[in-house]
Structure 1
Amino acid sequence: MTSLALKDHIQKHISPTTGEQEIVSSFFESFHAQKKQNLLEEGQVCKQHFFVEKGILRMFYVNEKE
């Protein structure tokens, strides 16, 4: 189930039908991260997209070529 904030964000850009909203909602799940919690550890590959409803999410890249 998607959050109201995500639904509002989507509706700012497009006007999905109720059926389309249900399809989109089926691809998302709610997740609550604690402060300073790592979502991934070094070496893991991120296979998800995140929608931040409240707070900040930092992202880092590790360049193994240097």
Structure 2
Amino acid sequence: MTLTDEARRVVGRLAAEWRATEAALAGLEAEIPYPLSRVVAGIEHALERKSFHDRIAEKLEEDAAWD
């Protein structure tokens, strides 16, 4: 793979953004009593049981204003 001139110009900024994102995530995880990866895994398992769309549709069926 060969990067274009434009891509080469932004590589450093992309790497900096990635480092900042990882650092922000680490800081956030330090403030909560469980890792975000555990939360994500829990959400994935729950959505395997029932999709988010289905969950919303069920709640709309219960709401008289939706009729």
Give TM-score scaled by structure 1 length.
Answer: 0.29
Question: Which structure's residues are more often helix, by fraction?
Answer: 2
Q: Which structure: larger Rg?
A: 2
